[in-house]
Amino acid sequence: MKEKAESHPFDQLAKPAQRALANAGIKTLEQLADLSETEFMALHGIGKNALQTLKTALTDRNLSFAQGERK
């Protein structure tokens, strides 16, 4: 029997949040960690549930949102 592959944290998000990440070109948690929390929340389709889900996923992988905003 085939084992279920580990699901990607983005798969746990609602479709609007998944589209927001795709439209921003974000495919990995490492790319997400390049954004500040403010920048992430500014993406159209992102809400508090997506924020909490992805904060947990980042923390689980010893990552976090960037401090401050990108220049």
Six-digit token string for 14:
């609602």
For the chain, the structural domain boundaries read 11-60
62: left (phi over 0), alpha (psi -120 to 50) or beta: left
> What type of residue sits at position 25?
G
pLDDT digits (tens, 9 = 90+) for 20-29: 999 999 999 9
- Dump pLDDT digits (tens) for 10-61: 999 999 999 999 999 999 999 999 999 999 999 999 999 999 999 999 999 9
Burial tier of 69 (Cβ tally within 10 Å: 0-12, 13-18, 19+)? exposed
Query: Whole-model pTM?
Result: 0.83
- Measured CA to CA, the distance from residue 70 to residue 18 in angstroms comes to 22
CATH of 11-60, one of 1.10.150, 3.30.1340, 1.10.700, 3.40.50: 1.10.150
